[in-house]
Amino acid sequence: MSKPLTGIRVLDLSKVLAGPLCAQYLGDLGADIIKVETVGQGDETRGWPPFPAPGLGTVFLSANRNKRSIAVDMKSEKGREIVHALAKSADVAIESFGTGVAERLGIDAPTLRTLNERLIHCSISGFGRAGPLKNSPGYDVILQAFCGVMSMTGDQDGGYIRSPISPIDQMTGVHAFSGILALLYAREKTGKGGEIQVSLFETALGLLGYNLQTFWERGVQPPKCGSSHESLCPYQAFEAADGPIMIGVANDNLWRKFCAVTGLSAIVDDIRFRTNADRVAHRKETLGHVEAALQQNSVAHWNEVLTGVGVPCAPINSIAQLLDHPHTKASGIIVDYEHQTAGRLKGVGHPVLINGAERRAGRPPPVLGQHTDDVLGEIGLSSEVIGELRRERVIG
């Protein structure tokens, strides 16, 4: 079955997570992704342990499926000529270098789009390409700190906590992905490409939408809420008789259902607890009643009973429990594939189902420079020229 982006060629000049993840999603939808890496080292995440095989760090594996790798020294004139030749026939180019670096390497939007007006150029940065912090390096954890995310994460009396899933990096990749799809659609009407800029800074601000709205209303720093929500109650983790369970009572109808099955009917219409606003105002008392009720039975019991009446809840699973759950297995989101150097591996498939098609891993993440000769041959370089470029260390 032909995939939606079959026939689209992408130059992935990015590294680490946001750009590579964006390119992987395009590849999952059928685009031909040419990952351009530095000679010798390649994408720095190749060196981030653990390693199922040398040069294949697990972060790299997670974001570089369905790509072909070429190793090119873009600091050399001949290396830039190779990238420019590839750009002439590409539909999309993605870069994530520090501000000013793309211009020095000749892979910035004005340079590449002069070569190919149909090209869609996507630039990914930490703090954007303008403003006082445009030259500041940006990693997910830095933006979590700078944009106030860390100031709200964790328990009220606890230390500062980094979200371990790199949400800002990953969401920036999704924003880049959506922008590229939008311009591919627009190009069908205009015949011309365009330029996209996304940054971890603006992604973080976007993710903070309702938190900022609350700050503008109250004018005070939002509190650290741990597993809870400052606007909802009860809406957090609780200890049942044998372990933790997450409860999400997000409206008053759910509160009535919750009380009916947990033995709290006597307080359901108490003026302190009747509405969500009442329960938030009397949070400590509300939580006291809920905690006492939930401690009377097991996680499995409450999960079955509450789910049965439509109250959102979930056991707080470990990663192993998540992967072993029948629902995870039924979803088909986990894919298996064979890697030429790492053997049998698993990965997370593209989290979008199109026309109900079964998810498949496709091309495994490449070894550094694995496809250099093939790709250069496609733009007309002979084996003799390729050999000479390799001897000069222009390619790897």
Q: Which residues are catalytic?
A: 169
Do residues 374 and 67 touch, judged by C-beta distance below 8 A?
Answer: no
Nearest one of 379, 382, 392 to 115, comparing CA atoms: 379
CA 326 to each of CA 106, 359, 387: distance values in angstroms, whole numbers, following the listed order: 50, 17, 52
Q: How far apart are CA 83 and CA 85, in angstroms?
A: 5
**Distance between CA atoms of residues 23 and 9, nearest Å:** 10
**Residue 42: DSSP 8-state:** -
Amino acid at 47: G
Determine how β-strand 313-315 pairs with β-strand 343-348: unpaired
**Cβ atoms of residues 279 and 255 within 8 Å:** yes
User: CA-to-CA distance for 188 and 114, rounded, in angstroms?
Assistant: 19
Largest CA distance in the chain: 85
Residue whose structure tokens are 């520090």: 98
- d(C-alpha 281, C-alpha 285), whole Å: 9
Tokens standing for 231?
A: 């606007």
- Residue 280 near residue 264 (C-beta atoms within 8 A): no
CA neighbor of 96 nearest in space, from 153, 36, 47: 36
Structure tokens at 333: 């989101």
Strands of the sheet with 67-71, listed across from one edge? 67-71, 32-37, 9-13, 92-95, 120-125, 194-199
Query: 3-state DSSP: the chain helix, strand, coil percent, rounded to 5?
Result: 40, 15, 40
- Retrieve residue 236's tokens: 């957090």
For 242-318, where are the alpha helices, taking DSSP H only?
252-262, 276-281, 283-294, 299-308
Q: Are 289 and 267 in contact (CB under 8 A)?
A: yes
